[in-house]
Structure 1
Amino acid sequence: MTREHEDLLGMLAEVRKRLLIPAHGLSDADAARRTTVSELTLGGLVRHLATGERLWLQILKTADGSLPEGMLDTDQYAMSETLTHWLSAYEKAAAETDEYVASLPSLDIEVQLPATPWSPPQPQFWSARRIVLHLIHETAQHAGHADIIRESLDGANSTAQLA
Protein backbone atom coordinates (compact mmCIF):
# COMPACT_ATOMS: atom_id res chain seq x y z
CA MET A 1 0.00 0.00 0.00
CA THR A 2 1.39 3.39 -0.96
CA ARG A 3 1.49 6.54 1.14
CA GLU A 4 -1.34 7.89 -1.01
CA HIS A 5 -3.48 4.84 -0.18
CA GLU A 6 -2.74 5.37 3.53
CA ASP A 7 -3.50 9.10 3.41
CA LEU A 8 -6.80 8.76 1.54
CA LEU A 9 -8.02 5.77 3.53
CA GLY A 10 -6.98 7.55 6.74
CA MET A 11 -9.01 10.63 5.79
CA LEU A 12 -11.98 8.44 4.86
CA ALA A 13 -11.75 6.71 8.26
CA GLU A 14 -11.67 10.10 9.97
CA VAL A 15 -14.80 11.42 8.26
CA ARG A 16 -16.61 8.13 8.85
CA LYS A 17 -15.87 8.51 12.56
CA ARG A 18 -17.17 12.11 12.51
CA LEU A 19 -20.37 10.92 10.83
CA LEU A 20 -21.01 8.23 13.45
CA ILE A 21 -20.46 10.40 16.55
CA PRO A 22 -23.95 12.00 16.32
CA ALA A 23 -25.57 8.54 16.09
CA HIS A 24 -24.01 7.40 19.38
CA GLY A 25 -26.57 6.43 22.01
CA LEU A 26 -29.66 7.09 19.91
CA SER A 27 -32.81 5.01 20.03
CA ASP A 28 -34.29 3.74 16.79
CA ALA A 29 -37.13 6.22 17.20
CA ASP A 30 -34.73 9.17 17.46
CA ALA A 31 -32.56 7.83 14.62
CA ALA A 32 -35.67 7.80 12.40
CA ARG A 33 -36.93 11.22 13.51
CA ARG A 34 -36.88 14.21 11.17
CA THR A 35 -35.78 17.39 12.92
CA THR A 36 -35.77 19.82 9.99
CA VAL A 37 -37.86 20.40 6.88
CA SER A 38 -35.52 17.98 5.13
CA GLU A 39 -36.34 14.28 4.84
CA LEU A 40 -32.95 13.46 6.39
CA THR A 41 -32.68 11.44 9.58
CA LEU A 42 -29.59 10.11 11.33
CA GLY A 43 -30.55 6.52 10.62
CA GLY A 44 -31.32 7.41 7.01
CA LEU A 45 -27.91 9.03 6.60
CA VAL A 46 -26.17 5.93 7.94
CA ARG A 47 -28.25 3.76 5.60
CA HIS A 48 -27.46 6.02 2.64
CA LEU A 49 -23.72 5.91 3.30
CA ALA A 50 -23.65 2.17 4.00
CA THR A 51 -25.48 1.57 0.75
CA GLY A 52 -23.35 4.12 -1.08
CA GLU A 53 -20.08 2.51 -0.02
CA ARG A 54 -21.36 -0.89 -1.11
CA LEU A 55 -22.46 0.49 -4.51
CA TRP A 56 -19.23 2.43 -5.14
CA LEU A 57 -17.20 -0.65 -4.23
CA GLN A 58 -19.18 -2.66 -6.76
CA ILE A 59 -18.57 0.04 -9.40
CA LEU A 60 -14.87 0.03 -8.56
CA LYS A 61 -14.61 -3.77 -8.71
CA THR A 62 -16.55 -4.29 -11.94
CA ALA A 63 -15.13 -1.14 -13.63
CA ASP A 64 -17.31 -1.86 -16.69
CA GLY A 65 -20.06 0.73 -16.34
CA SER A 66 -22.72 -1.73 -15.20
CA LEU A 67 -25.39 -0.25 -12.98
CA PRO A 68 -25.35 -1.80 -9.49
CA GLU A 69 -28.69 -2.98 -8.17
CA GLY A 70 -30.15 -0.33 -5.86
CA MET A 71 -28.20 2.62 -7.27
CA LEU A 72 -31.38 4.32 -8.45
CA ASP A 73 -33.27 3.68 -5.19
CA THR A 74 -35.30 6.82 -4.56
CA ASP A 75 -36.00 5.86 -0.96
CA GLN A 76 -32.37 5.47 0.10
CA TYR A 77 -32.59 7.94 2.99
CA ALA A 78 -35.41 6.13 4.79
CA MET A 79 -34.38 4.14 7.85
CA SER A 80 -35.94 0.82 6.89
CA GLU A 81 -34.23 -1.28 9.59
CA THR A 82 -32.87 -0.64 13.07
CA LEU A 83 -30.03 1.79 13.66
CA THR A 84 -27.92 -1.14 14.88
CA HIS A 85 -28.52 -2.90 11.56
CA TRP A 86 -27.36 0.11 9.52
CA LEU A 87 -24.37 0.81 11.77
CA SER A 88 -23.27 -2.80 11.28
CA ALA A 89 -23.88 -2.61 7.52
CA TYR A 90 -21.85 0.60 7.35
CA GLU A 91 -18.98 -0.90 9.33
CA LYS A 92 -18.94 -3.94 7.03
CA ALA A 93 -19.11 -1.84 3.84
CA ALA A 94 -16.33 0.43 5.12
CA ALA A 95 -14.07 -2.53 5.93
CA GLU A 96 -14.68 -4.05 2.49
CA THR A 97 -13.96 -0.73 0.77
CA ASP A 98 -10.76 -0.24 2.76
CA GLU A 99 -9.55 -3.78 2.08
CA TYR A 100 -10.18 -3.52 -1.66
CA VAL A 101 -8.69 -0.04 -2.07
CA ALA A 102 -5.63 -1.06 -0.03
CA SER A 103 -5.13 -4.03 -2.37
CA LEU A 104 -4.97 -1.89 -5.50
CA PRO A 105 -1.41 -1.48 -6.77
CA SER A 106 -2.28 2.05 -7.96
CA LEU A 107 -5.16 4.47 -7.55
CA ASP A 108 -4.71 5.48 -11.19
CA ILE A 109 -6.86 2.61 -12.49
CA GLU A 110 -9.75 3.88 -14.59
CA VAL A 111 -13.32 2.82 -13.86
CA GLN A 112 -16.25 3.34 -16.19
CA LEU A 113 -19.17 4.82 -14.29
CA PRO A 114 -22.68 3.45 -14.80
CA ALA A 115 -25.06 5.47 -16.95
CA THR A 116 -27.73 7.08 -14.79
CA PRO A 117 -30.52 9.55 -15.57
CA TRP A 118 -28.24 12.37 -14.35
CA SER A 119 -25.16 11.22 -16.31
CA PRO A 120 -23.88 13.06 -19.38
CA PRO A 121 -24.59 11.20 -22.64
CA GLN A 122 -20.97 10.07 -23.18
CA PRO A 123 -19.36 7.38 -20.99
CA GLN A 124 -17.64 8.73 -17.87
CA PHE A 125 -14.44 7.37 -16.36
CA TRP A 126 -13.05 8.04 -12.89
CA SER A 127 -9.85 6.86 -11.32
CA ALA A 128 -9.98 4.78 -8.14
CA ARG A 129 -8.49 7.87 -6.47
CA ARG A 130 -11.45 10.01 -7.54
CA ILE A 131 -13.89 7.41 -6.24
CA VAL A 132 -12.19 7.44 -2.82
CA LEU A 133 -12.19 11.25 -2.88
CA HIS A 134 -15.91 11.14 -3.72
CA LEU A 135 -16.54 8.87 -0.72
CA ILE A 136 -14.61 11.29 1.49
CA HIS A 137 -16.60 14.25 0.16
CA GLU A 138 -19.96 12.52 0.49
CA THR A 139 -19.23 11.28 4.01
CA ALA A 140 -17.94 14.66 5.20
CA GLN A 141 -20.97 16.45 3.77
CA HIS A 142 -23.35 14.08 5.54
CA ALA A 143 -21.35 14.29 8.78
CA GLY A 144 -22.33 17.96 8.87
CA HIS A 145 -25.96 17.03 8.28
CA ALA A 146 -25.73 14.47 11.08
CA ASP A 147 -24.42 17.12 13.50
CA ILE A 148 -27.35 19.41 12.74
CA ILE A 149 -29.90 16.62 13.09
CA ARG A 150 -28.45 15.42 16.42
CA GLU A 151 -28.24 18.92 17.84
CA SER A 152 -31.89 19.45 16.83
CA LEU A 153 -32.86 16.19 18.56
CA ASP A 154 -31.34 16.79 21.98
CA GLY A 155 -28.74 19.56 21.88
CA ALA A 156 -25.79 17.16 21.61
CA ASN A 157 -23.07 17.95 19.10
CA SER A 158 -19.86 16.33 17.91
CA THR A 159 -17.66 18.91 19.56
CA ALA A 160 -19.09 18.15 22.99
CA GLN A 161 -19.04 14.41 22.33
CA LEU A 162 -15.38 14.50 21.28
CA ALA A 163 -14.32 16.26 24.51
Structure 2
Amino acid sequence: MPGQVGAIANEREGLLAYLAQMRHVIRLTAYGLTPEQLRAAPTASELTVGGLIKHCSSTEENWIDTVRREPRELDYQAYADNFALRDDETIEDVFANYDRVAARTERTIAEIADLGQDVPVDHSVPWNPKDLDNWSVRWVLLHLIQETARHAGHADIIREALDGGTAYPIMAAAEGWPESPWIKPWKPAAGQPA
Protein backbone atom coordinates (compact mmCIF):
# COMPACT_ATOMS: atom_id res chain seq x y z
CA MET A 1 0.00 0.00 0.00
CA PRO A 2 1.46 3.39 -0.91
CA GLY A 3 2.25 6.01 1.71
CA GLN A 4 -0.81 8.05 0.67
CA VAL A 5 -4.45 7.19 -0.01
CA GLY A 6 -5.18 7.27 -3.73
CA ALA A 7 -7.93 9.13 -5.55
CA ILE A 8 -11.40 8.63 -4.11
CA ALA A 9 -14.75 8.79 -5.88
CA ASN A 10 -17.09 9.49 -2.98
CA GLU A 11 -17.40 9.98 0.77
CA ARG A 12 -17.93 6.32 1.64
CA GLU A 13 -14.95 5.21 -0.42
CA GLY A 14 -12.81 7.97 1.13
CA LEU A 15 -13.73 7.14 4.71
CA LEU A 16 -13.03 3.44 4.19
CA ALA A 17 -9.78 4.16 2.31
CA TYR A 18 -8.45 6.41 5.08
CA LEU A 19 -9.41 3.84 7.72
CA ALA A 20 -7.62 1.12 5.71
CA GLN A 21 -4.56 3.37 5.43
CA MET A 22 -4.45 3.95 9.19
CA ARG A 23 -4.79 0.19 9.82
CA HIS A 24 -1.87 -0.36 7.45
CA VAL A 25 0.24 2.32 9.13
CA ILE A 26 -0.25 0.96 12.65
CA ARG A 27 0.47 -2.58 11.48
CA LEU A 28 3.75 -1.42 9.94
CA THR A 29 5.00 -0.34 13.37
CA ALA A 30 5.40 -4.06 14.14
CA TYR A 31 7.48 -4.76 11.02
CA GLY A 32 10.73 -6.52 11.90
CA LEU A 33 10.14 -6.55 15.66
CA THR A 34 10.79 -9.59 17.81
CA PRO A 35 8.07 -10.97 20.11
CA GLU A 36 9.90 -9.37 23.02
CA GLN A 37 9.99 -5.98 21.30
CA LEU A 38 6.27 -6.21 20.46
CA ARG A 39 5.60 -6.49 24.22
CA ALA A 40 8.21 -3.96 25.36
CA ALA A 41 7.17 -0.64 26.91
CA PRO A 42 10.27 1.55 26.45
CA THR A 43 8.57 4.89 27.11
CA ALA A 44 6.95 6.50 30.16
CA SER A 45 3.66 4.65 29.54
CA GLU A 46 2.83 0.94 29.62
CA LEU A 47 1.82 1.00 25.94
CA THR A 48 3.41 -1.49 23.56
CA VAL A 49 3.35 -1.85 19.79
CA GLY A 50 1.61 -5.23 19.93
CA GLY A 51 -0.89 -4.02 22.52
CA LEU A 52 -1.79 -0.90 20.53
CA ILE A 53 -2.47 -2.90 17.38
CA LYS A 54 -4.62 -5.32 19.37
CA HIS A 55 -6.47 -2.38 20.95
CA CYS A 56 -7.23 -0.77 17.57
CA SER A 57 -8.66 -4.05 16.29
CA SER A 58 -10.81 -4.47 19.40
CA THR A 59 -11.98 -0.86 19.28
CA GLU A 60 -13.03 -1.13 15.64
CA GLU A 61 -14.84 -4.39 16.36
CA ASN A 62 -16.74 -2.80 19.27
CA TRP A 63 -17.79 0.21 17.19
CA ILE A 64 -19.00 -1.95 14.31
CA ASP A 65 -20.95 -4.07 16.81
CA THR A 66 -22.58 -0.83 17.94
CA VAL A 67 -23.32 0.24 14.35
CA ARG A 68 -24.91 -3.18 13.79
CA ARG A 69 -26.80 -2.75 17.08
CA GLU A 70 -25.05 -5.80 18.51
CA PRO A 71 -23.14 -4.06 21.31
CA ARG A 72 -21.18 -6.13 23.78
CA GLU A 73 -21.19 -5.48 27.50
CA LEU A 74 -17.87 -3.74 28.15
CA ASP A 75 -16.12 -3.68 31.47
CA TYR A 76 -13.01 -1.87 32.58
CA GLN A 77 -10.83 -4.99 32.88
CA ALA A 78 -11.71 -6.20 29.38
CA TYR A 79 -10.92 -2.70 28.07
CA ALA A 80 -7.57 -2.62 29.88
CA ASP A 81 -6.66 -6.16 28.77
CA ASN A 82 -7.04 -5.32 25.08
CA PHE A 83 -3.99 -3.03 25.38
CA ALA A 84 -1.68 -5.98 26.10
CA LEU A 85 -0.32 -8.66 23.82
CA ARG A 86 -0.52 -11.75 26.03
CA ASP A 87 2.24 -14.37 26.08
CA ASP A 88 -0.08 -16.85 24.34
CA GLU A 89 -0.83 -14.41 21.49
CA THR A 90 1.33 -13.73 18.46
CA ILE A 91 1.33 -10.69 16.25
CA GLU A 92 0.18 -13.00 13.45
CA ASP A 93 -2.90 -13.86 15.58
CA VAL A 94 -3.57 -10.15 16.13
CA PHE A 95 -3.14 -9.38 12.41
CA ALA A 96 -5.47 -12.24 11.43
CA ASN A 97 -8.13 -10.94 13.82
CA TYR A 98 -7.64 -7.37 12.56
CA ASP A 99 -8.12 -8.65 8.99
CA ARG A 100 -11.42 -10.29 10.03
CA VAL A 101 -12.52 -7.11 11.79
CA ALA A 102 -11.61 -4.96 8.76
CA ALA A 103 -13.51 -7.25 6.38
CA ARG A 104 -16.56 -7.11 8.66
CA THR A 105 -16.33 -3.31 8.76
CA GLU A 106 -16.21 -3.15 4.95
CA ARG A 107 -19.22 -5.51 4.62
CA THR A 108 -21.20 -3.63 7.27
CA ILE A 109 -20.62 -0.21 5.70
CA ALA A 110 -21.46 -1.57 2.24
CA GLU A 111 -24.85 -2.72 3.59
CA ILE A 112 -25.76 0.72 5.00
CA ALA A 113 -27.60 2.97 2.56
CA ASP A 114 -27.20 6.23 4.50
CA LEU A 115 -24.02 7.18 6.40
CA GLY A 116 -26.26 9.50 8.41
CA GLN A 117 -27.97 6.45 9.97
CA ASP A 118 -28.25 6.74 13.76
CA VAL A 119 -25.84 4.83 15.97
CA PRO A 120 -26.71 4.83 19.69
CA VAL A 121 -24.37 6.57 22.13
CA ASP A 122 -23.10 4.33 24.95
CA HIS A 123 -23.68 6.33 28.12
CA SER A 124 -21.99 3.73 30.34
CA VAL A 125 -18.52 5.12 29.61
CA PRO A 126 -17.43 8.49 31.00
CA TRP A 127 -16.00 9.97 27.78
CA ASN A 128 -19.24 9.98 25.79
CA PRO A 129 -21.47 13.07 26.03
CA LYS A 130 -24.52 12.50 28.22
CA ASP A 131 -26.66 14.98 26.26
CA LEU A 132 -26.32 13.12 22.95
CA ASP A 133 -28.37 10.03 22.11
CA ASN A 134 -27.00 9.15 18.66
CA TRP A 135 -23.88 9.38 16.53
CA SER A 136 -24.05 8.72 12.80
CA VAL A 137 -22.28 5.95 10.87
CA ARG A 138 -20.25 8.74 9.26
CA TRP A 139 -19.15 9.94 12.74
CA VAL A 140 -18.19 6.39 13.74
CA LEU A 141 -15.95 6.01 10.66
CA LEU A 142 -14.31 9.38 11.29
CA HIS A 143 -13.81 8.40 14.94
CA LEU A 144 -12.21 5.08 13.94
CA ILE A 145 -9.82 6.94 11.62
CA GLN A 146 -8.99 9.36 14.45
CA GLU A 147 -8.54 6.62 17.04
CA THR A 148 -6.38 4.44 14.79
CA ALA A 149 -4.25 7.42 13.72
CA ARG A 150 -3.78 8.50 17.35
CA HIS A 151 -2.57 5.05 18.32
CA ALA A 152 -0.42 4.74 15.20
CA GLY A 153 1.36 7.85 16.46
CA HIS A 154 1.82 6.27 19.87
CA ALA A 155 3.15 3.11 18.21
CA ASP A 156 5.55 5.21 16.09
CA ILE A 157 7.08 6.72 19.24
CA ILE A 158 7.37 3.33 20.93
CA ARG A 159 8.91 1.83 17.80
CA GLU A 160 11.47 4.62 17.55
CA ALA A 161 12.37 4.13 21.22
CA LEU A 162 12.84 0.40 20.62
CA ASP A 163 15.20 0.44 17.65
CA GLY A 164 15.24 3.88 16.04
CA GLY A 165 12.87 2.80 13.25
CA THR A 166 10.54 5.52 11.95
CA ALA A 167 7.40 5.38 9.82
CA TYR A 168 8.50 5.99 6.24
CA PRO A 169 11.80 4.05 6.39
CA ILE A 170 9.87 1.11 7.90
CA MET A 171 7.21 1.42 5.17
CA ALA A 172 9.98 1.53 2.56
CA ALA A 173 11.53 -1.66 3.96
CA ALA A 174 8.20 -3.48 4.30
CA GLU A 175 7.13 -2.58 0.77
CA GLY A 176 10.51 -3.00 -0.91
CA TRP A 177 11.01 0.62 -1.97
CA PRO A 178 14.45 1.26 -3.45
CA GLU A 179 16.81 3.54 -1.58
CA SER A 180 16.69 7.08 -2.94
CA PRO A 181 17.72 10.59 -1.92
CA TRP A 182 14.25 10.82 -0.33
CA ILE A 183 14.28 7.66 1.74
CA LYS A 184 16.58 4.97 3.04
CA PRO A 185 14.65 1.79 3.92
CA TRP A 186 14.94 0.65 7.54
CA LYS A 187 17.28 -2.21 8.28
CA PRO A 188 17.54 -4.15 11.53
CA ALA A 189 20.47 -3.35 13.77
CA ALA A 190 23.40 -5.75 13.67
CA GLY A 191 22.47 -8.94 15.46
CA GLN A 192 18.70 -8.27 15.27
CA PRO A 193 16.57 -10.63 13.17
CA ALA A 194 15.22 -9.20 9.90
Q: TM-score with structure 2 length normalisation?
A: 0.76
The residue number in structure 2 matching 1:102 is 110
Partner of residue 162, structure 1: 171
The answer to whether structure 1 residue 16 and structure 2 residue 20 are counterparts is no
Higher helix proportion (structure 1 or 2): 1
Question: Which residue number in structure 1 is paired with residue 120 of structure 2?
Answer: 112
| Gap runs ≥5 in structure 1 | none
1:122 CA drift (Å): 4.4
Does the 8 Å CA contact 1:41/1:149 hold for their aligned counterparts? Answer: yes
| 2:51–2:85 contact (8 Å) kept in structure 1 | yes
Q: Deviations over 1:105-154 (max 9, x none)?
A: 11010011222230444452100000000000000111111111111111
In structure 1, the partner of 2:82 is 76
| Pairing partner for 2:51 from 41, 44, 51 | 44
More divergent stretch after superposition (148-157 vs 80-89) = 80-89
The code of the aligned residue for 1:69 comes to E
Cα contact 1:55–1:71 (8 A) shared by 2: no
Contact kept? 1:50, 1:90, Cα under 8 Å: yes
- Aligned CA distance change for structure 1 residues 117 and 7 (closer, same or farther; 3 Å): closer
Higher relative contact order (CA 8 A, sep 6+): 1
C-alpha deviation, 1:155, in angstroms: 1.0
Please give the secondary structure, in 1, of the residue aligned with 2:72. coil
Q: State the Cα RMSD in Å.
A: 1.7
Deviations 1:53-101 (A, max 9, x none): 1111100001xxx751346423321112221111111111111111111
Whole-Å Cα distance in 2 between the matches of residues 92 and 125 of structure 1? 26
Once residues 160 and 40 of structure 1 are traced to their aligned partners in structure 2, the CA distance between those partners, rounded to angstroms, is: 22
Instruction: Give the 3-state SS of the residue equivalent to 1:23 in structure 2.
Output: coil
Specify the structure having the higher radius of gyration (Cα).
2
Question: What is the TM-score with the length of structure 1 in the denominator?
Answer: 0.89
From 100, 103, 114, give the equivalent of 1:92: 100
Deviates more, 1:115-124 or 1:36-45: 115-124
Q: Tell me the number of residue pairs that the alignment of Structure 1 and Structure 2 aligns.
A: 159
2:35 aligned with 1:31: no
| Structure 2 gap ranges (5+) | 1-8, 173-194
Identity %: 36
The 10-residue stretch of structure 1 (25-34 or 113-122) with the greater mean CA deviation from structure 2: 113-122
